[in-house]
Chains A and B, each alone.
Chain A
Amino acid sequence: MTPSTDPRLLDVRRESARLARPTGHRVWLLLIVNVPLSLWYFSWLLAPQRVGNRALYGILIVAELFNLVQAAGFWWTCADERSRRGAVRPAYLADVDVLVPVYGEPVDVVEPTIAAAVRLRGARVHVALLDDGDSPEMEALAARHRATYVRRLSRTGAKAGNLNNALRLTSAPFVAVFDCDHVPDPGFLEATLGYLIADSRIAFVQTPQYYANAIRGGLPAAAWAQQALFFGAIARGKDRLGAMFCCGTNVLFRRSALDRVGGFPENSLTEDFELSIRLHALGWRSRYVSEVLAQGLGPEDMAAYVSQQHRWARGCLSALPAALRAKLPWRLRAQYVLSAMFFLSGWSVLVYMLLPVIRILTGAQPLASASADQFLLHFAPYFTASLLTVVLAGAGMYTFAAFALTAASFWLHIHASLKALLRRPGRFVVTPKRGRAGRHIRAVLPAMIAICVLGASAWVGLLRDRSPATLNNVAFAALHMCVLLSGAGPALRRSGGVASQADAQQRRGRSAA
């Protein structure tokens, strides 16, 4: 990746403005519609005469109520928001330690980050490159940019351990953390530091985790669209509720707050999430600045995406008991529970996929005393209004590709929740920063199996009869197939991989020379 081809160095003001665009009043207006429509649908659905096959009905109700809780949480979060874009001017020139943990990432990915970190304005900056990869190239890189190079003897605690080690070696009152692929904007500290200086109760200021490679389309774009919904309306809403949690990168901490909780939790897969719970439980506050102040790289291939999402799902679901136990105000507790519960949504996707298959193959269905048009009459307004809320809250940034990617990752949620339930130990896996060449069938194998099952049952249904009832279920199966196929698409297409492309560019460069 050369400076001319590195998307992290491009102007991002437009995307930043889009991300920060306030949407709360629109969501609030839609809330007036959403609540009665939800009540209408669920009062119809929960009527006793609606019970068809008891087991299927029960499963459907659980899935629908889960989605309703998630939707209601989303509406509540996004209905009002706080948008912080203008910087709070710091009262004095403070010292800030800028920590960049590295573990085997390529030099050309890390170099722009370090180069940008040493140029941060608004404070006396001390950049430390925390290399768990024990790489001489990294040491040389740090030397080139006059950054401190930190190498650990033991690599316990993964990223959290690496950061804690650096905290012991540094002393500035404020600590900025950037993943090694996140290139900070020179104005990062100018936009964030003032909050910490102005209010001593604030533990950290979080900024968006923007994927600059989204401009290339494909998987990074879909992954960014997922992020955009969170770092847009949701994060602004969480900020209003005082419930914004730390996302591990592009964040500025108060050292004393970190010290109070003993640094980053080393036994968690999502040290940032758990750290936030601990800080909030001790009464510390958090802030969110909805301005893109660092540009990173999203997962370039499906294997990387799966690895990242699985870690997030495991980590957040494992932190659920901690969120429930912690002494938090109910608003914060509810926000943490809602955020963690999102990673259970794969179960509801599984339920929705199974229902048409069961109906086609066995004839059993969850609902009774309800024709398809009655169901549609009650469901369609609720579904449409909910979808419209996502569109408006996400300022149009949430895409079908993002939705499909979430749906195709249903199995991740199931796997992660089962592992969390069984308390199986997890391993911190660094998300690869570069795409690997070829197809990544294994990463979407469960989705592909689901597509085959849905396709086969649809085929059986069509062979058996063409009644409207069967066709309705075949159409549901087709809907799921299209969504899954679209979500799994990036893994099925043969890609050159960013690394391979970079190598090829270098080879071409050498041969030209």
Chain B
Amino acid sequence: MDGEVTIDPPKPDTTARSDLTAVLALTIVGLGLRFIVTRSIWLDEAISIAQAQLPFHEMMARLTQDVHPPLHHAVLWLTVRLLGTGELAVRLPSIIAGTLLIPTLYGAGRDLYDRRVGLVAAMFGTVAPIAIWYSQEARMYSIFMLFALIAVWAQVRVLRSGGPGAWIVYSIATAAMIWTQYFALLQVAVQQAAFAVSFWRRRGARWRLALAWVGSILVILLLLIPLRPLLESQVHAYVSNNAGSALPAQAGLGATQQQSKLSVYAFIANMIWGLWGYHADTTMAQIVAMWPLGMLLMLVLLGRGYSGMSMLLLSVAAVPALILFGVGEVQRNLFELRYFVGAVPVGLLLMARLASSTENAGPRRLIVGLVVVTLTVGLADQQLNGANPRLYDFRGALARVSAQAQPGDVVVYEPQFIGPVVDYYAADLQAKPLSTGLPLPRRGRRIFVVGSFLEDPGSAAQVGNALHQLSTRRRDAGEFHRPNVQVWVFQ
């Protein structure tokens, strides 16, 4: 209750072998699940892949117009050089980071609480839908999650024992986190505040903590110095571009996203996505409406006690989300799960702690089992349900177009920003955005109209006009649908 981090002596490790086996098994299962990729390359991924194919200096020059730090891009650049641009190849760094999250969750859970929490956390991490989702994306979020967890774990170790090893790991993980995602600064701020609180409350060895703390800040700053020129260029570009992005947000569509103003339901939806994955809008609306069960959870937590460590984890998980929710009131697109996705593994750890805190083995197993089942159901729905508004099957649609297309056929697409994906999947086709005009190939050749994001009135009107024009001049040769992608064929 006093908010201080409790110091527990290490317990004798008599079950290391069985734990190792269990974690290994979970890691293999987790790796398998992360390899079962069910979605195509997303817009941001396609852009990153395109950038990674450039010479390194050119990629870095392009990044000055981007809003992300360069660590993942550098890793991707190397991956593309080593393994090519295949879906699996470009996603391999994320898959590896996502898989490493499982043993890291075990280690953190075991170290911060006990082995039971470690095992349960690893179990949750194996099937956690968002951990898998971002493990299957050639972007930085999976790596961000891994570093975020390591940084928190190392900080708790620092506050417990203050050993140099923990300080070094904390400093490197923190710097790596910022090199991966700028929004990590929110977590860093929370963690620095935790150091301040700990310093304030500490009775003995206070100044030793302060000294080491200042030292770690200096190390972090030192590690961030090379980032400075890029960051300055990006800030300048961002301000010049009027702080906007033509790309749609990936997370958060439907009822919680399309509104111009944030609602508290959007906040709850993001929390649910963080743990149980992305789902159809109708499903989300139903789940979010059951918020009174959250009140029940709060009541159930009454009298359970809490440690300073749990409060730190809770702060790391909640404060960045709350800050971004506040910022989202001003700039809507900044409140997105992926920007505070570092909270996900910490949330899983807390959930593992909560689920395994019941003393009686029977109810405990039941609770843990139920959570695993709900996570698995969430995972299956996220990955397989075509109604998931974040599933855009460009791969399926363009594969079919490629299979049908003959030399001389033309592909037009709308909106313009799906161009990198079209280039990725249909590089050998003659494709151009619809906004540049409707090309008419010679008679006998086909024209494929690929439309996506048609809930946007502008895109819908553009595609509608094109279809109207084509239907008056060409024969309708059919159409087909893939999740969130439609293709019309004219001859």
Contact = CB atoms under 8 A, between A and B. Distances in A.
Interface of A: 21, 225, 372-373, 376-377, 380, 383-384, 387, 390-391, 394-404, 466, 468-469, 471-472, 474-476, 478-479, 482-483
B456 to A, nearest CB: 24
Q: Which 9 A/B pairs are nearest by Cβ-Cβ distance?
A: A399-B303, A468-B289, A475-B290, A475-B292, A373-B265, A377-B264, A472-B289, A471-B289, A400-B302
A220 to B, nearest CB: 15
Contacts of A404: 299
B286 A398 contact: no
B281 to A, nearest CB: 11
A377 to B, nearest CB: 4
Contacts of A394: 303
B1 A468 contact: no
A395 B1 contact: yes
B291 A475 contact: yes
Contacts of B293: 475, 478-479
B305 interface: yes
30 contacts: A225-B303, A372-B291, A373-B263, A373-B264, A377-B264, A380-B264, A384-B298, A387-B298, A387-B299, A390-B302, A394-B303, A396-B305, A396-B306, A398-B302, A398-B303, A399-B302, A400-B299, A400-B301, A400-B302, A400-B304, A404-B299, A466-B286, A468-B285, A468-B288, A469-B289, A475-B291, A475-B292, A476-B292, A478-B293, A479-B293
B264 A376 contact: yes
Contacts of A471: 286, 289-290
Given A390-B302, A400-B303, A479-B295, 14 more contacts: A21-B1, A373-B264, A376-B268, A376-B291, A387-B298, A396-B1, A399-B304, A466-B286, A468-B285, A468-B288, A472-B291, A472-B292, A475-B292, A476-B292
B264 A468 contact: no
Contacts of A395: 1
Contacts of B292: 472, 475-476, 478-479
Contacts of A373: 263-265
A479 B296 contact: yes
B225 interface: no
B300 interface: yes
Interface of A is mostly: helix
Given A377-B263, A380-B264, A479-B295, A387 B289 contact: no
Nearest to A397: B303
Listed residue (A376, A391, A399, A402) with the most chain B CB atoms within 10 angstroms of its CB: A376
Interface string B299-341: 1111111100000000000000000000000000000000000
Nearest to A390: B302
Contacts of B289: 372, 468-469, 471-472, 475
A216 to B, nearest CB: 14
Interface of B is mostly: helix
A380 B293 CA distance: 13
Interface residues of B, number: 24
A471 B265 CA distance: 14
Contacts of B303: 225, 394, 396-402
A246 B290 CA distance: 44
Contacts of A469: 289
Contacts of A483: 296, 299
Contacts of B296: 478-479, 482-483
A173 B345 CA distance: 66
A466 B285 CA distance: 10
A394 B305 CA distance: 11
Contacts of A21: 1
B145 to A, nearest CB: 27
Nearest to A387: B298
A475 B298 CA distance: 14
Contacts of A474: 290
A394 B263 CA distance: 33
Contacts of A400: 299-304
Contacts of B302: 387, 390-391, 398-400, 402-403
A380 B263 CA distance: 13
A468 B285 CA distance: 6
A505 B479 CA distance: 82
Contacts of A391: 302
A472 B291 CA distance: 7
Contacts of A466: 286
A404 B300 CA distance: 9
A204 B415 CA distance: 81
A395 B306 CA distance: 11
Contacts of B291: 372, 376, 472, 475
Contacts of A475: 289-293
Contacts of A402: 302-303
A486 to B, nearest CB: 8
A404 B289 CA distance: 23
A404 B296 CA distance: 11
Nearest to A228: B303
A475 B294 CA distance: 10
A397 B303 CA distance: 5
Nearest to B285: A468
Contacts of A396: 1, 303-306
Nearest to B256: A373
A391 B268 CA distance: 23
Given A380-B264, A396-B305, A403 B299 contact: yes
Listed residue (B286, B288, B301, B302) with the most chain A CB atoms within 10 angstroms of its CB: B302
Listed residue (A21, A384, A396, A466) with the most chain B CB atoms within 10 angstroms of its CB: A396
Contacts of A387: 298-299, 302
Contacts of B263: 373, 377
Nearest to A486: B300
A272 B120 CA distance: 51
A396 B288 CA distance: 29
Contacts of A403: 299, 302
Nearest to B291: A376
B265 to A, nearest CB: 4
A280 B233 CA distance: 74
Listed residue (A373, A383, A384, A483) with the most chain B CB atoms within 10 angstroms of its CB: A373
A272 B302 CA distance: 30
A23 to B, nearest CB: 9
Nearest to A380: B264
Nearest to A472: B289
A459 to B, nearest CB: 16
A377 B329 CA distance: 13
Nearest to B2: A21
